[in-house]
Structure 1
């Protein structure tokens, strides 16, 4: 049986699932994809507000699911190819879309710090994969499995981000002052 032809990096499906080739770096593909998602999220958030980021997240999830399935068929893959990072984009944006739930009316400096914190919290849980993320990663196959584990990292990342963002208030309540 002959090996199926693989699409070039500039094929539209490949560009989408690798988030403009960020998933084609030799190491740290998921981190590269999450980093590459940040400028887009910043633009959505600054010019369209939280609603624009929610809409972009839903679109990235739906399009990512479709494009991942297409890419996996094109490359005859059943597993979660590491070069697919559209799932990191959707997961990262989902965490960032929740920022207004944690911080009402942040200053531009706070927004920047929170974006960096959201990136770090998301990467922590996307790499660590505590339950049920690990279960989804192992058991759910195909394009749904590609997308699902990253979306499941959101609650963990948002809770940690909220905790870290309110450490000063927590310490003040404990210490009293």
Structure 2
């Protein structure tokens, strides 16, 4: 297995293989990770659609769904990564879904479109910029757990900043 996000384009057969399996379907964020460019950004943007429904859950249910989604993502990204022969291919974007949903935790009950937009921007900043501890997790954890946890850390950092903004501006 290679280390890091693999840059090779998927062949049509690999795409079909991923979308034919439940693990691949989930790991690619329902296919959003198969976008031709900016897969992580596309996955984060697509994650906002189910978030519009998830934001109406109770806090307890939201947190349980995040935990279940993270555990399921560890499995799905591990299986899909093995099928592709890499630890973390850029087409695997379920981690962006979970990280984005975690980043938006502070704005579940906030009115206005700007709060989710701010959460999206902050999550992308921390996910792409990879400050510590995101960078450490990205380098040291492998397989499905590694795929998921660096984005969970990026989502947690984004949530902390967004929480501060909500307290200060909201």
TM-score by length of 2: 0.82
1:49 corresponds in structure 2 to 58
2:3 corresponds in structure 1 to none
1:28 is the counterpart of 2:29: no
Structure 1 unmatched runs, 5+: 170-177
Alpha-carbon shift at residue 40 of structure 1 (Å): 0.7
Moved more, 68-77 or 126-135: 68-77
1:16 is the counterpart of 2:26: yes
Which is higher, the Rg of structure 1 or of structure 2?
1
SS in 2 for 1:9: helix
Check whether the contact 1:41–1:53 (CA below 8 A) recurs between aligned residues: no
Structure 2 unmatched runs, 5+: 1-12
Alpha-carbon shift at residue 10 of structure 1 (Å): 3.8
* Match for residue 47 of structure 2 among 37, 43, 52: 37
Check whether the contact 1:65–1:147 (CA below 8 A) recurs between aligned residues: yes
Check whether the contact 2:102–2:152 (CA below 8 A) recurs between aligned residues: yes
CA distance in 2, matches of 1:52, 1:168: 27
CA distance in 1, matches of 2:66, 2:84: 26
TM-score by length of 1: 0.79
1:162 corresponds in structure 2 to 163
CA distance in 2, matches of 1:55, 1:163: 23
Alpha-carbon shift at residue 167 of structure 1 (Å): 4.7
CA RMSD of aligned residues (A): 2.0
